[in-house]
Amino acid sequence: MSSTPTYAQLRSVGSYRPSHVLTNETVAAHLDVNETWLHRRTGIRTRRVADDRETLAYMGAQAAVTATRRAGASTDTVDCLIAASMTHQDHGASLARSIADLLPEPPRAALDVNAACAGFCVALELARCLIQGHTFNTVLVVGSERMRDIITDDDRATAPVFADGAGAVLLHGAPEPGIGSPAWGSDPARRHLITRPDPRQADGELSPLQMQGPQVYRWVIDHLPDVATTALERAGVDVHDLAAFIPHQSNDRIITALSVALALPPHVTVVRDITHSGNTAAASIPMAMDTLLQTRPDLAGKLALLLGYGAGMTFAAQVVQLP
């Protein structure tokens, strides 16, 4: 085992967005509401929907290849792939293994994480520990979701919000830390707020996700500013040191309320990828990070606060140095 201190840093990011765009006009027609109501309630104007070819593994692999290429690396340098998803239905097979096997040079180690919409942040911490523990030197973390598979078009709580896509980051060992210790956990007393009580119904069809939106909103605003503040403290920084805030893209009103609660100064960019990507659960933070760095490449190397939260009322936050 190496005695040289090794830290984990983000090296690159990539994303995959399905080609089919689902507009508010189409969603509103199913719900018998108007587009203005939809946008005011969610902040979303369009969202992406995967077709049959765009499987979780396919989208995840596309995002992973993009992240690897942007790092100037090849997939044969990757030691491990961690996949985060809440929509992987085949529990007898690893999504991470399926993604890895689509890469040009598959890594031998692959494992799955399911912490719902906090899954990416949880997987990122696992990758950090594997690198800092000298188990691996290079790790891909992938979030991939087909949320439209587990909702119904006539549910006003979920249909306007959820979407499909994938995002990935490449981490590697480095002499300086690039990822702060997380604040993470869950609130089991509130797990009923977002749930799938019977994953498979009597007719064999998958039962849809159920969400109590107003109660989720209150839980997030009541509890997660403290989680974010703890993550800042563990990283040894405060909000004035940040260049960006990249929360889970759950709802634009929640993003705004969190930004206000954290008293973010004007120079901190609050990422709102939700406007055109919708809520992609475990994929939302890396997809939003990619959007940020494509539009603001000057923020590379600066600090960002990540905050994920979702079903099971799981949550995780950490400060990262942007790749």
Q: Which residues are designated catalytic?
A: 117, 248, 279
Phi, psi of 310 (to 5 degrees): 175, -150
SS3 13: strand
Helix, coil or strand: residue 125: helix
Residues 6+ positions from 266 with CB-CB distance below 8 Å: none
Cross-strand pairs, 30: none
Q: How far apart are CA 68 and CA 315, in angstroms?
A: 27
How many Cβ atoms from other residues are within 10 Å of residue 230's Cβ? 15
Structure tokens at 13: 């990011």
* Phi-psi label, residue 59: left if phi above 0, alpha if psi -120 to 50, beta otherwise: alpha
The DSSP secondary structure of 197-248, one letter per residue, reads S-SB-TTSPBPPPEE-HHHHHHHHHHHHHHHHHHHHHHHT--GGG-SEEEE-
- Tokens standing for residue 267: 């120079």
> Cα angle vertex 78, ends 73, 79, to 5°?
155
